Structures are given as C-alpha cells and as structure tokens.
Amino acid sequence: MTEDRAKTAALYDAINTWGDSDDFHLDLVRSADAVLDVGCGTGVLLHAARASGHTGRLVGLDPDPHALAVARRHEGVEWVEGVLGTAGYEAEFDLVVMTGHVFQVFLTDDDVRAQFTAVRRALRPGGRYAFETRNPGARAWERWTPEHGVDITGENGERVRVEHRVEDVRDGLVRFSETHSSPDWAEDVVERATLRFTTAEQVDALLAETGFEVVERHGSWDRAPLTATSREIITVARPARGVPDHGGAVAVAFGTRVGVRDSKNPRGDALGFPTSSWPASGRALPR
C-alpha cells in the first residue's frame, strides 16, 4: 500500500498539469508576504511562487508523506508534514490558501468549523483565506466515469490510465474510486476517497460562525460570478471586523485530530481534521 501511494504520488504532477486555478492562486500568493498552503500536495504552487521571484515566507503543509516527498525535491519552501490544527501557527500568515478542492475533504460541519477556526488563528490581522469547492449544482460526480478516463505518461516513461467510478452519493457526500492501470505494472492501483459537496450558502454560514467575511466570490477561475450551475465556488475571505481574534477558541491536539475548545465544546473534544487519503487525480477529476 505504501509502495502504491508513493507510485501514485509520483504521478500526481503528470495528471494534474498547471491550470487556470493555479494562475488564480499564484496571483494571490505573489501579492502576499507570508503564505501558508494547507494541503499543498506535491507543492507545485509554492514552488512556482518561489521560482517566479517571491521573496517572503512560503510554508506548504500536508499530512501525506508521499506527496511531501515529491514537494521536497524543491528547495526554498518550508515543507511541513501535518494538519493545521496541530501545526500551532498563530498570527503568522498574510494569506492561507487551500487549493485543489482540499476543502472537500472536511466531511462534516464540525470538521469545517475546526478548520476555519485554525485558519483564523494562523492569519495575521488583515490576512486573507482563499479556497474553492466544487459547486453541487454542476453535479461533477456524474462525469466521474471510466469514459472520462485519462491516459498519461509518468516521469519514468510508464503509460498509465486513470479512471473513476462513483460508488455512493448520499447527503452531499460522494464516495468514489480511482483506478490506475498500466501495461508496465503487475497490478492496478485502486484508491478510494469521499468528498463533500456544500452549497455557497453552507460555506458562508460556516465562515460567518467562525468569524470570517467573504471579500470575493467567483463561479469560475476567470472570476465570473457564481451561478446555480457554475463549476466552482471560489471564495476569498478575511477575519470579520469587530469579531475578536480567533473567536476565543483554543485548538487542542489529539494526535493527528484536533478539538477546538470553545463555548460549544468546552472539553476540546476532537472534532475534525481528518487526514483522509486523496486520489492522485485531485484537481484533474473530470469537471
């Protein structure tokens, strides 16, 4: 299994080539001094920022050691294994980004609240938080079928086909598999993941609860307005004026899961931060 993850992590950049979402996020990164990329994966965004002349602090955080092993081929960025709640950042960043639909790994409202609260703690005053989630109105999972599979060539010249199959759609959660097959391999590699689809209204309610206000909202990477069937719900948020820093919450570490001790959860029971595995296609899932 470990060997399989290393194999699919090494294919990630061949499957997920640079795209319009990267241009969008790179613009934001270049306009900020200290940047944290949560769920940085193989680190392409921060590497591009450094290569294009960014001189500030760049930190890439991800719980997947195989993705980070690929990221660490590039110097000039702090690559950190872990999740935000346990990393303990306090008022250190002008920008937190979460690209490649990382947001969808948080499967419950409590997971999202814990994540947003930790982002707020990590931001300096006046900081920004940018992330996207797939719009449920565009029903992208209906195109996660073998006919929409892609053929790629890995860095060692291996020819690989990547196909998706949805196994369950229920209560906003989509469970699916991703199969990698290659004539050069003895066996297929199959990975499974569950992603959550939330509406803009749900996102905004959770942001407001955790002390954020939305400053930009787009439905696609060219900054078109969000419509009922836009593919993306792209959000740039900032800590709301007049809400005390960190909303009074305290992050409490429980191994790799984290509880946020506040009035709703006085004991700081573990709420979220699932370190779910992620299929190698990530951003490149059919849109």
Ligand X SMILES: C[S@@+](CC[C@H](N)C(=O)[O-])C[C@H]1O[C@@H](n2cnc3c(N)ncnc32)[C@H](O)[C@@H]1O
In the complex, the residues that contact ligand X under the rule CB under 6 A are 16, 38-41, 62-64, 67, 83, 99-100, 102, 105, 273-276, 278, 282-283
Strand boundaries in 51-122, DSSP class E: 58-62, 78-81, 93-98
To the nearest whole angstrom, how small is the minimum distance from the Cβ of residue 22 to ligand X?
7
Select from 35, 82, 87 the least CA-distant residue to 63.
82
Indicate the residue among 42 and 230 with the shorter CB distance to ligand X. Answer: 42
* CB-based contacts of 181, cutoff 8 Å, min separation 6: 160, 161, 163, 188, 189
Distance between CA atoms of 142 and 134, rounded to whole angstroms? Answer: 13
In the complex, minimum distance from the CB of residue 242 to ligand X, in angstroms, rounded to a whole number: 29
- Shortest distance, CB of residue 275 to ligand X, whole angstroms? 5
Q: Under a CB-based contact definition with an 8 Å cutoff, are residues 117 and 84 in contact?
A: no
Closer to ligand X by Cβ: residue 83 or 123: 83
Closest to ligand X by CB, 184 or 287: 287
User: Residue 74 burial (CB < 10 Å; 0-12/13-18/19+)?
Assistant: middle
* Six-digit token string for 253: 């570490």
Give me the sign of the Cα torsion angle 279, 116, 43, 29: positive
Minimum Å gap between C-beta 102 and ligand X is 4
Q: Tell me whether residue 82 or residue 172 sits nearer to ligand X (CB atom).
A: 82
Give whichever of 64 and 232 is closer to ligand X, judged by the CB atom.
64
**Least distance in angstroms from the C-beta of 49 to ligand X:** 13
Residue 178 beta carbon to ligand X: minimum distance, rounded to whole angstroms:
11
Which tokens go with 13?
Answer: 């950049």
Nearer to ligand X, 99 or 230 (CB): 99
- Residue holding tokens 């900020």? 32
Side chain identity at residue 39, one-letter code: G
